[in-house]
C-alpha cells in the first residue's frame, strides 16, 4: 500500500507543478510595451529604428581591415572601399593556431597583440 501511496503522491505533485507552470500563461497580465520585431515585415524598416547616417573609415580602420596583408594589396581587397558599417568577418580575428594566416592571435610579450608585419 505504501508504494501506491507514493505513486499517487508523486502524480499529484507533478500535476500541481504543471498547473503552476501553465497558470501564468492564461492569467490576465498587463500587455508589455510592443517593440518592433525585425523580420515580420522584411520589406519595411521598423519606425523609430536607429540608422547609421555616416561611416567614416580612417587610417586605423584600414590598418585593422588589412591586418596581416602585405603590400602590394591584391585587387581582390578593393571591396574594402565599399565596406560600410555592416558586419564583416574580415575585420575580426578568426581561428587560432595554424589557421591564423593573418596573424591576429600572435602573442607578443605574453599579451594578445595584433599581427607582426
More confident residue, 109 or 8: 8
The helix or strand, by DSSP H or E, that contains position 11, with its residue range, turns out to be helix 2-26
pLDDT of 16 higher than 80: no
Measured distance CA(100)–CA(117) in Å, rounded: 14
In this prediction, residue 77 carries a pLDDT of: 93
Q: Which residue has the higher pLDDT, 40 or 117?
A: 40
| DSSP string over 50-100 | ---------HHHHHHHTTTPPSSPPGGGGGGGT--SS--GGGS----GGG-
Angle at 46 between CA 40 and CA 52, to 5 degrees: 130
For 59-116, how does the pLDDT look when each residue is reduced to its tens digit (9 = 90+)? Answer: 999 999 999 999 999 999 999 999 988 888 888 888 998 998 899 888 643 444 444 4
For residue 33, how many C-alpha atoms fall within 13 Å in the half-sphere facing its CB? 1
Question: What is residue 110's predicted lDDT score, i.e. its pLDDT?
Answer: 43
Amino acid at each position: 500500500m505504501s508504494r501506491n501511496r507514493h505513486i499517487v503522491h508523486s502524480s499529484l505533485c507533478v500535476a500541481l507543478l504543471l498547473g503552476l507552470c501553465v497558470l501564468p500563461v492564461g492569467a490576465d497580465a498587463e500587455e508589455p510595451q510592443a517593440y518592433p520585431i525585425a523580420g515580420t515585415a522584411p520589406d519595411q524598416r521598423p519606425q523609430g529604428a536607429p540608422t547609421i547616417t555616416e561611416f567614416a573609415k580612417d587610417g586605423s580602420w584600414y590598418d585593422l581591415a588589412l591586418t596581416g596583408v602585405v603590400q602590394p594589396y591584391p585587387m581582390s581587397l578593393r571591396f574594402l572601399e565599399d565596406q560600410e558599417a555592416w558586419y564583416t568577418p574580415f575585420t575580426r580575428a578568426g581561428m587560432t593556431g595554424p589557421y591564423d594566416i593573418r596573424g591576429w592571435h600572435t602573442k607578443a610579450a605574453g599579451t594578445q597583440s595584433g599581427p607582426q608585419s
